[in-house]
Amino acid sequence: MDGSGLEERLVEEGRSRDGNGDLKKRVWEEWKTLWRIALPSIIFRVTAFGIIVVAQSFLGHVGELHLAAYALLQTIFLRFINGLLAGMSSATETLCGQAYGAGQYHMMGIYLQRSWIVDGVTGSLFIPLFIFATPILRFLGMEDDIARAAADISPWFIPFLGSLMFSMTIQMYLQAQMKNLIIGCVSAFSFALQLFLSWIFVTKFSWGVAGAMSAMNIASWSLVLGEFIYIFGGWCPDTWTGFSKAAFSDIFPIMKLSISSGIMLCLEVWYFGILVLMAGYMKNASTAISAFSICQNILAWELNMCLGFLGAACVRVANELGRGDAKAAKFAMKVNLCTSICIGVVFSILCLVFGRRLSYLFMSDEQVAASVSNLSFLLSISILLNSVQPVLSGVAVGSGMQSLVAFVNLGSYYGIGIPIGVLLGYVAHLRVEGLWIGMLCGVAMQTLALSFIIYRTDWEYQVKKASERLNKWVLKPSNGSGYSFMHA
């Protein structure tokens, strides 16, 4: 689509939101736009996370110790780094979304390249965590058998980490310009590829840990390769004009926004990791870790669906703020929130109905199944809260309020959730259920705080801030091959 075509479409979208049409028509148009963004994003997030879960599922059939070791590595190390990189990539989502809404299409490729630089440097700093995983787990007090089993798994996470540095930022970049279909298709293919390879490597060839982890890495890099082919192959002519030295300009302001975005999500992700770590100090640690991890993976799988609505909320709010339409941004938020809540109710009910059977997706141990069954009611409440909180976070990201949300997460999770979880789990002897209740309290407080912040937001002021941000960092193509600064 050329630049003039994009401008015409934006004009038409603006006319559809001018308030002259009836409410049903406006809701229907917004709902269609929402699903155009959210559905491919949901497919991407669910299948991308599904790659991690499939590896865990196959490792669970290799042995309980390997399952527990993988759960610790994934929850404590990988989820922490994944959350940090995902949060830092949300800065790309904010900038690309607002640039797209403002018609500054050429800046989107520059923002993408800057995000590769920032995320690449940051991700590389955490590689030693996987190299020295076993001594780190021993230092944290984990059982020696689990720590030794982690040594067989941890090196396989290093190439997977490399794929994350690219896949997340590219997904944000494509999503901001409504090129979501390719994201869903490529991620679905990579997920199917992993299922096939895992079955071949683990079930047929009996390669064990090496088979499950190599299948995970092949699938994750096939996703990145597909995204590269789409971008470099000429399917983003307005927003990708090739590599440029301009990507190295304004790195520090981008880094500041990226770090605040990373801390925002990292505090949330690490919160869940700490709870799994605390489960490792309980009696019969491998059962406690396995049950808690299984429930968290089910919760995370549903959460990744809701993160599709987070992405949609971020894109729609960022687009409208960049376009200068505060009322349309608020309207998009309301439609998104109502849709996500309805879906959350459905999955919450399904969780209550199936309860104990959930654990058999991962392993057949009866003790783990009983522990998972005891957590099913709390899991259903968590799923319901997850249908609200991500949308509110997406609105905040689209508005560029990452730093404020980071403080909310810090207070809600670490000031309220973890202390309550420790008291209930260890002092009141509620064990895993106590930890989960503490987690729920933290999420509930975060949801209430975000609701208050969004309710009190001055959207006209957010439009002004978006305009100032875009005008400050905008570059325009020069007559040569590079870019030159343009100040508004």
At 382-431, the pLDDT tens digits run: 888 888 888 888 888 777 777 787 788 888 888 888 889 888 887 887 77
Instruction: Pull the structure tokens for residue 123.
Output: 């991700």
- Residue 487, pLDDT > 70, answer no
Q: How far apart are CA 375 and CA 369, in angstroms?
A: 10
What are 398's strand-pairing partners?
Answer: none
Q: Is the pLDDT of residue 8 over 50?
A: no
Query: Is 111 within a domain?
Result: yes
pTM to 2 decimal places: 0.71
Look up residue 64 and give its two tokens.
């309980």
pLDDT at residue 124 greater than cutoff 80: yes
For 302-306, what is the mean pLDDT?
74
Report the alpha-carbon distance of residue 36 to residue 181 in Å, rounded: 8
Beta strand pairing call for 475-477 and 483-485: antiparallel
- In-domain check, residue 17: no
| Residue 98 Cα distances to 38, 111, 255, 307, angstroms | 18, 11, 17, 19
Contacts of 438 (CB under 8 A, 6+ apart): 275, 417, 418, 419, 420, 421, 422, 423, 424, 425
Would the pLDDT of 76 be above 80?
no
The first and second tokens of residue 78, run together, are 């990988």
- Measured in degrees and rounded to the nearest 5, phi and psi for residue 485 equal -70, 145
In the chain, the percentage of residues whose pLDDT exceeds 70 is 81
Tell me: the pLDDT tens digits for 217-238?
Answer: 999 999 999 999 999 998 999 8
What distance in Å separates the CA atoms of residue 182 and residue 172, rounded to the nearest whole number? 13
**Structure confidence by residue, pLDDT tens digits, 444-459:** 998 999 899 888 888 8
Taking all residues of the chain, what is their mean pLDDT, rounded to a whole number?
Answer: 79
What are the percentages of helix, strand and coil residues in the chain, rounded to 5?
Answer: 85, 0, 15
In a domain, 486, yes or no: no
488 assigned to some structural domain: no
Domain membership flag for residue 146? yes
Write out the residue range of the structural domain in which residue 456 sits.
26-474
What pLDDT is attached to residue 155? 93
Residue 3: pLDDT over 60? no
Cross-strand bridge partners of residue 485: 475
pLDDT exceeds cutoff 50 at 194: yes
Amino acid at 153: I
In the chain, how many domains are there?
1
First-last CA distance in the chain: 27
Model pLDDT for residues 341-356, shown as the tens digit of each residue: 888 888 888 877 776 6
Asked whether residue 15 is assigned to any structural domain, the reply reads: no
Give domain status of residue 9, yes or no.
Answer: no
Is 6 part of any domain? no
